[in-house]
A and B are shown apart, each in its own frame.
Chain A
Amino acid sequence: MTEKVLSWLDERLGLTTIYSVVLDRKVPKVNWWYTLGSATLFLLIMQILTGIFLTVYYVPSPDHAYDSVQYIMTGVSFGWLIRGIHHWGASLMVVFVVLHMLRTFYLGAYKYPRELTWFTGVILLLATLGMGFTGYLLPWNQRAYWATTVGTSIAGTVPVIGPLIMRVLRGGTDLSAVTLARFFAMHIWGLPAIILAVVGIHLYLVVRIGISSVPTEED
């Protein structure tokens, strides 16, 4: 029965083709450094899942943001676990993205024909940092507030257009409810949309071109 259903689906969806192209593709003999991309993808999925669960209780308003986070930590069963994974996963994500980039750089994997993979990777690196920056404000505690004050002020030091950038980031001259709401929007809608789209391209390129082998003496 299951076999019948599967073959019916397979005939229409081409599941075995997808499987063989994505998972049975030939890869050169490489080392553990080549697993950093997969590790990052795993972390990204964890961040998406725990992030979705956090939005069940989190409220992006100055009146309730802090209290709702406290509620997640102390009032909801396993809330500490979900937020803990999201919190530590965020740091790990940055670490792994950077390590993944360094591996790609030092092993020369960014070269022809993988320039576009590198290029999309750069976007993903920046988007990941953006996630870290916007997510940092959301607990709305003292550290979050002042870190964002400093962060947006740094953006304000850009010559000529700095003050404008700062105002756009803050949604006004000061850090306020508007800042919290737009950081939240970027954190759960804007940047994830960019990340998911670009990860799609990134992975498509990895599957299409294949991964590079470890450089040898002749390279």
Chain B
Amino acid sequence: MAKRARYRLSRREFVNLVVGALGSIMGAVVGIPIIGYLVSPALKAQKSEAWIPLGPLENYPIDVPTPFNFTRTKVHGWERTVSSYGVYVLRTAEDQAKVFSNVCTHLSCRVKWREDLGQYACPCHDGFFDKNGDVISGPPPRPLDQYETKVEDGNLLIHFVEG
């Protein structure tokens, strides 16, 4: 006889146990779908990446930040949203270019290249970046984001990653 056998489950305890177990199962059967239903769109991976062509590299003047705009279509649930993005292309050499996002690293306003200042200026909180995207003054915490670039057959492409 094992020692454990001495302990006898009373009828009341047994019923409590069974009710508790069945109740938990039923709660899970009802609760999990509801939580999944409410939360699932937030958990879906909405990553998108692509190589976006910015045209022949030779179109861009050397050492002058030149704006380029493109659009991306995203599906949010039942809706397609077309978002536009802006970048600045800085052709540094005959076959090289840096491409900066025009999103200010402070609070996501759009920066503009000011030829008169020779700086990128963010109108929202007076953030300034130099030609290479480094912070000169103002609140931005880090330099302008850069895209990975490559040149294929004389065409400039950037690696666009989102999400």
Contact = CB atoms under 8 A, between A and B. Distances in A.
B116 interface: no
Contacts of A79: 37
B27 interface: no
Contacts of A57: 77-78
Interface residues of A, number: 16
B38 A56 contact: yes
A71 B40 contact: no
Contacts of B38: 53, 56
B36 A71 contact: no
B42 to A, nearest CB: 11
**Size band of the interface chain B makes with A:** 10 to 19
B44 to A, nearest CB: 8
Interface in B35-90: 36-41, 77-79
Interface string A147-188: 000000000000000000000000000000000000000000
B33 interface: yes
23 contacts: A53-B34, A53-B38, A57-B77, A57-B78, A67-B78, A68-B77, A68-B78, A70-B78, A71-B77, A71-B78, A75-B41, A75-B77, A76-B37, A76-B40, A76-B41, A77-B37, A77-B39, A77-B40, A78-B33, A78-B34, A78-B36, A78-B37, A82-B33
Given A67-B79, A77-B36, 19 more contacts: A53-B34, A53-B37, A53-B38, A56-B37, A57-B77, A57-B78, A59-B78, A70-B78, A71-B77, A75-B77, A75-B78, A76-B40, A77-B33, A77-B37, A78-B33, A78-B37, A78-B40, A82-B33, A82-B37
